Amino acid sequence: MTGKLNLDPTVIAGARELARRAGEPVTELARTHTTVSVERAVLRLAGLDGADEDGMPWVNRLADAVRATTGLEHGVALPVWDAMLTGGYPDLRTLAVDAAAGLVKFRLPAGHEGDAASQAAFRSVKKGISRIDAQRAERDRMIAATSNPPMPWIYLIVATGDIYEDIPQAQAAAREGADIIAVIRSTGQSLLDYVPEGATREGYAGTYATQENFRLMRAALDDVSTELGRYVRLTNYASGLCMPEIASLAGLERLDMMLNDCMYGIIFRDINPVRTFIDQRFSRQVHARAGIVINTGEDNYLTTADAVDAAHTVVVSQLLNEYFGREAGLADAQLGLGHAFEINPEVPDSFLLELAHAQLIRELFPDAPLKYMPPTKHMTGNVFAGYLLDAFFNLCGVMTDQSILLIGMMTEGIHTPFLSDRDLALENVRYVRRAAARLGQEFRPEPDGFVAQRARQVLGESVDLLRTIGSQGLLTAIAEGTFGVTKRPADGGRGLDGVVQRAEGYFNPASDLLEVTQ
Amino acid sequence: MSLTGMVRPYGDTTGDGRVQLSFTLPVPFGDETERARAEGAALQLAAKMGLDPAMVVHAKGMGPDFTFFIVYGRVSHLVDLSAVTVTEREFPVLPAAEVNLRIRSALGRKLVVVGACIGTDAHTVGIDAILNVKGHAGEKGLEYYREIRVVNMGSQVGVADLVARAAAEHADAVLVSQVVTQRDAHLSNTREMSAAFHAGFGLQRPLLVVGGPRFDPSAAHDLGVDKIFGRGTTPSEVASYLVHALAGEGEAA
């Protein structure tokens, strides 16, 4: 450990222990409940795709039909595969069509029939998990055949709403130096309780996350990776009401990174806290298996709260994200913990404060591929000042050895980036990397100077807050507005009606397969 | 300097008319011939925009098909200040204590505000900046005002839900924020919202206020709302407007 801040290892260990204690009751909730989206993910892993003529996916139609008859307390798997066997159905799609028409009488099979159903379900879901394993191996093969770019990886966003416009933009961005392409989702998607189907050509401020859009974009980036001799990673967003399903589709189509925060949906999208914690656990188990790096959303806290006052809430959320991530089976190298350069530039020593926060997080999570987000809140429309602020962001990122740099646009908050905005942004980061890539090695803050003291202060405040959360419970802390200044009670928000307590004998072949991997 | 006279852009000398602009043309910037043609194309655009003389100070190829330009030039246009129209704010901005006092004396109860982002718009930054205690630009949000009761419905609220909630809460005012403007969603959403309130409440409808960075503040009547706030609006401006519109003022505005 080559610490620069003289952090006390016992304080750090204590903080991790407090995060574990705060998180454990919530994990227990996830182990004893399921959700409609978890059950639909089981059906997706078993290969059920497509949608009815209204665009409603067959997984929704089938899960709804099961829920209406046997309920979901025992999971969809037993009733569904029992109906497959007893009805002699050739595939899940045919069953789903009949079920949607009310032609299937679901029941909970017992004895030999129960065993037969569970074995059939296990075999079907295993095919999906095997495909995820094969995609993970294919990623390794592609990286070996091309190359793995050095960190910090340059992360650029495309967001046209039309997958066929996104593709050439993403390829152009890769050729200009992007290591990671993120396809921003349509702004409405996180609150849809289904995953849209097929290639989509319109969205609001982004492009819908669909299995086919994932496949098309990954294929296009494979082409450009081969052309450039450098593996270009693809990112999308799991957060929302369909985390388990989108995570499954991402694994099946070899996405490389997914935005997946343990609390983002709760705080910023008003999704029910219990629903979110159950869904995030399953989705992270899938990510763990798929070798997908998650990106957490702590940068968002700093856009609603003050970046100096709320610095410790970022650290607390990162420690919780780390606990929940590890518990779900993610390796440290899969924990792309997020933070941001959002301190008001009018504040004296703002750059020193940013350095302190960024270096603190680097030292707290030495093996995590930290994701550093550029300024947005203090981008005023003065594009010239904004370009300078972005350069300072890039410098801080380089100095503190951040792993993933989301490249800031000087026109942030004005419009979706012009071609020239992106080109200028890349010129900015290329200059900083060329000029100062090794500055991190030379940078040693005074042992008891401003930077080191500020870092220790933020760590101390984080421990205090974790202690408070531990004593009142995480769900109460969220209800009282601890994160992001928004109050989110455990019985409020969207999606609570999709939460079901597991009954004795609950069976989920996907969960069984995924738990084993730990 | 006269506020009614004629002016020109100022570079470093009065009346020099100097401006800068940057843009991209879908032309290649490869070999010498292509470069000369690209710069010529940029100068032609500048001339058509009224820059004479114009100078391309920077040109850079972006990929095989595009070139980025920075151009400086002199415009001959005159700006007639007497023909500039501005919407003056029709109400004074009051301190929080004064807002509370006026609500108390005029209404004798709390003023109820229901806020939401409607349609598919999930960007609650704007509405939260106005409503949350935390506020915006150093000012506390409406939740901070003792005499204002705030119901923040959050993002992606359906118009029917908003109307129902406004009725249930006996809202005096409804605040709607719209950030996303793709395909003019902010305008169609606002029209849908105002139509629903006009239909549901008639003359007894709550005050309808919308805000967002891309609204034209003078379009309130056209959109069927009472007030539009644009970029940079602070909570105290909104609070003062609500008092002006709902809790009367000592004198005619």
Query: Which whole number is the average pLDDT over A171-178?
Result: 92
Which tokens go with A464?
A: 């205090």
A190 at B interface, C-beta within 8 A: yes
% residues pLDDT > 70 (chain B): 91
**Of A213, A237, A261, which residue is a domain's last?**
A237
Can you tell me the distance from the alpha carbon of A508 to that of A37, in angstroms, rounded to the nearest whole number? 13
Domains (range + CATH), chain B? 6-82 (3.30.30.60), 96-246 (3.40.50.280)
Beta-carbon separation of A420 and B62 below 8 A: yes
- Tell whether A439 is covered by a domain: no
Quick one: three-class SS letters along A351-375?
HHHHHHHHHHHHHHCCCCCCEEECC
Query: Which whole number is the average pLDDT over A266-291?
Result: 94
**Residue B1: is its pLDDT beyond 60?**
no
Which tokens go with A474?
A: 């995480």
**Residue B8: is its pLDDT beyond 70?**
yes
**Of A237, A252, A281, which residue is a domain's last?**
A237
**Residue B87: is its pLDDT beyond 80?**
no
pLDDT tens-digit readout, A352-406: 999 999 999 999 999 999 999 999 888 888 999 999 999 999 999 999 999 999 9
B120 at A interface, C-beta within 8 A: yes
Report the chain A residue with the minimal C-alpha distance to residue B59.
Answer: A420
Mean model confidence pLDDT for chain B: 89
Beta-carbon separation of B213 and A413 below 8 A: yes
**pLDDT value for B136:** 67
Per-residue confidence band for A141, with pLDDT thresholds at 50, 70 and 90: very high
Question: How many other C-beta atoms are found inside a 10 Å radius of the C-beta of residue A324?
Answer: 25
**Closest Cβ–Cβ partner in A175, A304, A419 for B66:** A419
Judging contacts by C-beta atoms under 8 Å, the chain B residues touching residue A304 are 125, 128, 132, 134
Per-residue confidence band for B63, with pLDDT thresholds at 50, 70 and 90: confident
A193 at B interface, C-beta within 8 A: no
Test the A interface: residue of B67, B117, B120, B177 with most A CBs within 10 Å: B120
- Tell whether A71 is covered by a domain: yes
Nearest chain B Cα distance for residue A380, angstroms: 10
Quick check: A490 and A475 in contact, CB under 8 A?
Answer: yes
Q: Are residues A90 and A167 in the same domain?
A: no
Active-site pick, A299, A387, A390, A506: A299
Segment 44-83 of chain A within 8 Å of chain B by CB: none
Which tokens go with A353?
A: 């404060």
Beta-carbon separation of A303 and B125 below 8 A: yes
Whole domain around residue A212: which residue ranges? 151-237
Nearest chain A Cα distance for residue B24, angstroms: 7
Tell me the ipTM for this assembly. Answer: 0.84
Based on the structure, what is the number of domains in chain A? 2
**pLDDT value for B251:** 39
Least confident of A100-109, A314-323, A499-508, B116-125: B116-125
Judging contacts by C-beta atoms under 8 Å, the chain B residues touching residue A411 are none
**pLDDT value for A470:** 92
Mean model confidence pLDDT for chain A: 94
- Tell whether A356 is covered by a domain: no
**Of A126, A161, A194, which residue is a domain's last?**
A126
| Contacts A–B by Cβ distance under 8 A | 60
- Tell whether A336 is covered by a domain: no
Report, in angstroms and rounded to the nearest whole number, the Rg of chain A calculated over CA atoms: 23
Query: Which whole number is the average pLDDT over B226-230?
Result: 93
Report the chain B residue with the minimal C-alpha distance to residue A206.
Answer: B182
Can you tell me the distance from the alpha carbon of A86 to that of A96, in angstroms, rounded to the nearest whole number? 15
Q: Are residues A121 and A167 in the same domain?
A: no
**pLDDT value for A258:** 98
Judging contacts by C-beta atoms under 8 Å, the chain B residues touching residue A175 are 63
> pTM value?
0.85
Q: Are residues A161 and A117 in the same domain?
A: no
**Residue A169: is its pLDDT beyond 50?**
yes
- Tell whether A332 is covered by a domain: no
**Residue A85: is its pLDDT beyond 50?**
yes
Of B132 and B60, the structure prediction assigns the larger pLDDT to: B60
Quick check: A409 and A375 in contact, CB under 8 A?
Answer: no
Query: Which whole number is the average pLDDT over A38-46?
Result: 98
Can you tell me the distance from the alpha carbon of B36 to that of B39, in angstroms, rounded to the nearest whole number? 5
B6 at A interface, C-beta within 8 A: no
**Closest Cβ–Cβ partner in B62, B120, B154 for A419:** B62
Query: Which whole number is the average pLDDT over B39-57?
Result: 97
Quick one: three-class SS letters along A33-49?
EEEHHHHHHHHHHCCCC
Per-residue confidence band for A410, with pLDDT thresholds at 50, 70 and 90: very high
% residues pLDDT > 90 (chain B): 63
Nearest chain A Cα distance for residue B83, angstroms: 26
Beta-carbon separation of B156 and A188 below 8 A: yes
Can you tell me the distance from the alpha carbon of A202 to that of A24, in angstroms, rounded to the nearest whole number? 41
**pLDDT value for A1:** 43
Q: Are residues A99 and A175 in the same domain?
A: no
Active-site pick, A155, A194, A208, A264: A264
**pLDDT value for A516:** 60
- Tell whether A145 is covered by a domain: no
Beta-carbon separation of B133 and A485 below 8 A: yes
**Closest Cβ–Cβ partner in A172, A188, A485 for B63:** A172
Query: Which whole number is the average pLDDT over A165-169?
Result: 92
Per-residue confidence band for B253, with pLDDT thresholds at 50, 70 and 90: very low
Quick one: three-class SS letters along chain B?
CCCCCEECCCCCCCCCCEEEEEEEECCCCCCHHHHHHHHHHHHHHHHHCCEEEEEEEEEEEECCCEEEEEEEEEECCCEEHHHCCCCCCCCCCCCHHHHHHHHHHHHCCCEEEEEEEECCCCCCHHHHHHHCCCCECCECCHHHCCCEEEEECCCCECHHHHHHHHHHCCCCEEEEECCCCHHHHHHHHHHHHHHHHHHHHHHHCCEEEEECCCCCHHHHHHHCCCEEECCCCCHHHHHHHHHHHHCCCCCCC
Query: Which whole number is the average pLDDT over B115-140?
Result: 75
Test the B interface: residue of A169, A376, A420 with most B CBs within 10 Å: A420
Nearest chain A Cα distance for residue B173, angstroms: 22
Least confident of A34-48, A168-182, A296-310, A464-478: A296-310
pLDDT tens-digit readout, A88-120: 999 999 999 999 999 999 999 999 999 999 999
Q: Are residues A41 and A107 in the same domain?
A: yes
**pLDDT value for B171:** 96
- Tell whether A409 is covered by a domain: no
Measuring CA to CA, which residue among A134, A119, A212, A125 is closest to residue A167? Answer: A212
Quick check: B215 and B231 in contact, CB under 8 A?
Answer: no
Judging contacts by C-beta atoms under 8 Å, the chain B residues touching residue A419 are 24, 62, 66, 68
Query: Which whole number is the average pLDDT over A454-461?
Result: 98
Query: Which whole number is the average pLDDT over B15-39?
Result: 97
- Tell whether A379 is covered by a domain: no
Q: Are residues A121 and A165 in the same domain?
A: no
Please tell me whether residue A105 adopts helix, strand or coil conformation: coil
A268 at B interface, C-beta within 8 A: yes
**Residue B107: is its pLDDT beyond 50?**
yes
**pLDDT value for A518:** 47
Nearest chain B Cα distance for residue A205, angstroms: 7
Residue A49 falls in the annotated catalytic set: no
Q: Are residues A119 and A168 in the same domain?
A: no
Active site residues of B: 134
Per-residue confidence band for B135, with pLDDT thresholds at 50, 70 and 90: low
% residues pLDDT > 90 (chain A): 86
For residues A334-371, one letter each, b for 16 or more C-beta atoms within 10 angstroms of the residue's C-beta and e for the rest, the string is: bbbbbbbbbbeeeeeebbbbbbbbbbbbbbbbeebbbb
Query: Which whole number is the average pLDDT over A268-281?
Result: 92
What length is written for chain A?
Answer: 518
Beta-carbon separation of B132 and A186 below 8 A: no
Per-residue confidence band for A204, with pLDDT thresholds at 50, 70 and 90: confident
Beta-carbon separation of A423 and B68 below 8 A: yes
Judging contacts by C-beta atoms under 8 Å, the chain A residues touching residue B133 are 485
